[in-house]
A and B are shown apart, each in its own frame.
Chain A
Amino acid sequence: MAVEPEAELIARSKKGDAKAFSSLVSRYEDRIFNLAHKVCVGMPAEAEDVYQETFLTAFKKLSRFREDSNLGTWLYRIASNLCWMRLRKQRSEPVVPILDHPHHHDEEPDAATGAQFRDWSDGPEELARKKVLREAVEAALADLPVDYRLVVVLRDIEGLSAEETAQVMKLSVPAVKSRLHRGRLFLRDRLDQAVAQ
């Protein structure tokens, strides 16, 4: 069976055709759910709500969607906004001063600072470590402030480009790169601690 072009599905959906919109949902729902699951880490009920609300909101507001835009980017934007609003309401939303004052990250990691870095590759322990690292990533993501978490998930987990992430987040590309780098440094530190244990 021929795959119906996305533009036609969007046009029919704009007229209220729920079946056409359901076809669009099928194309994007796994990605949107994964984003929600990774950003609302440890809160599966919130992730499920974000997934559903993203498509319900999109269906209601589809008339505002411009055909020359990218539907995936638009859906990621709705989902990211929903995640952001929900997480900002959470009292547990972390405050991580290191991200605002990453002083030790602005210095060179060399003998001048006395810093020593493990390389996380001590042979036979590597396999077990992969599991440790995967689990540590989840815990570290939960501690990463949502503004950084969203950028890291969009770029490094969902695989969006810096430009696409900037469109989703309504940020400049340099701002996306800055948040991504700081987020990665934060996660690297946390994984380093996990490996050391």
Chain B
Amino acid sequence: MLKHLSDYLDRDLDPSICRHIDSHMKGCKPCVAFINTLRKTVGVLKRQPRAALSASLRSRLRRRLSRIG
């Protein structure tokens, strides 16, 4: 079952396997805790702050591009 958990979180899984996982989750606290932490891991990744591109680096690239244009 574990190998399907990412597809389960991404809702990219055969419905019959989803039902099997849903059914298992109802009676298995360790699995519920595990999938919750896996879900949070994905959530933390999705909410990582975007890297800030500085104006000076943007300008530096434009200068290099203009030299080869």
Using a CB–CB distance below 8 Å, which chain A residues touch chain B? 16-19, 21-22, 25, 29-30, 33-34, 36-38, 47-48, 51-52, 55-56, 59-60, 105-111, 115-121, 130, 133-134, 137-138, 152, 156-157, 159, 162, 177, 180-181, 184-185, 187-188, 191-192
Contacts and interface: CB of A to CB of B under 8 A. Distances in A.
Nearest to A190: B41
B69 A55 contact: no
B51 A47 contact: yes
Size bin of chain B's contact surface = 35 or more
Contacts of B68: 18, 56, 59-60
Nearest to A152: B45
Contacts of A21: 65, 69
A70 B64 CA distance: 24
B2 A109 contact: yes
Contacts of A108: 1-2, 31
Interface of B: 1-3, 5-7, 10, 12, 28, 30-34, 36-38, 40-42, 44-51, 53, 57-58, 60-62, 64-66, 68-69
Contacts of B45: 137, 152, 156-157, 187
A59 B65 contact: yes
B37 A117 contact: yes
A21 B11 CA distance: 38
Contact of A30 (B41, B53, B60): B53
Contacts of B50: 30, 34
Top 8 closest pairs, chain A to chain B, by CB? A18-B69, A37-B51, A181-B6, A117-B33, A156-B45, A188-B41, A119-B33, A109-B34
B51 A34 contact: yes
A121 B5 CA distance: 20
B44 A110 contact: no
A51 B62 CA distance: 12
